[in-house]
A = this chain, B = another copy of it.
Amino acid sequence: MKNKVQACLTKDDIVDSLKNVGVNPTAQRIAICQFVLCQGDHPTADEIKTWVDQHFPKLSLATIYNTLKTLTDAGVLREYKFPHSGKSFYDNNLVDHYHLLDEESGKLIDIDSKSINVSKGFLKEFTVNKMDVIFYGKHKSQVDG
């Protein structure tokens, strides 16, 4: 089973997506989207920079950050922070979900929130607007030396 299957979007698809959410589809933004909306798997800003540097003549780190903020505000991306790293991770999965950090590979794996039942009836005192869950673990199939 794959973690997430994201068909690669064409440039036109990306232009449309951006227009749909009121974001001006500049060349830089399209380049960034080609990675974060398609190939990237929970990339960080520096991973995006590395990819973009190989596919776009010159694009500043400031634009990466500006664009990530624009896309997040527009609802095309989600930003996550986790205890194990000071960096922000960007996720194009817009469906509610949690994450598992595979401690062997360091990869983040999406966990459908519907597959976890969190009974929080205890919280009589509180209105809960949102919750984040992160699991730390590894594939059972993997065998250590």
Contact = CB atoms under 8 A, between A and B. Distances in A.
Interface residues of A, number: 37
A86 B133 CA distance: 18
A9 interface: no
A128 B137 contact: yes
A102 B126 CA distance: 9
Tell me whether chain A's interface is mostly helix, strand or loop, or mixed. strand
A126 B116 contact: no
Contacts of A135: 120, 123, 126, 128, 130-131
A140 B126 contact: yes
A19 to B, nearest CB: 30
Interface stretch (A35-43, A61-69, A75-83): A75-83
Interface string A102-145: 11000000011001111110111111111111111111110000
Contacts of A81: 81-83
A100 B135 CA distance: 17
A33 B122 CA distance: 32
A126 B136 CA distance: 9
Given A129-B138, A130-B135, A131-B136, 18 more contacts: A1-B125, A82-B83, A100-B128, A111-B122, A111-B123, A115-B122, A116-B118, A117-B117, A117-B119, A127-B137, A128-B136, A130-B136, A130-B137, A131-B135, A132-B132, A132-B134, A132-B136, A133-B133
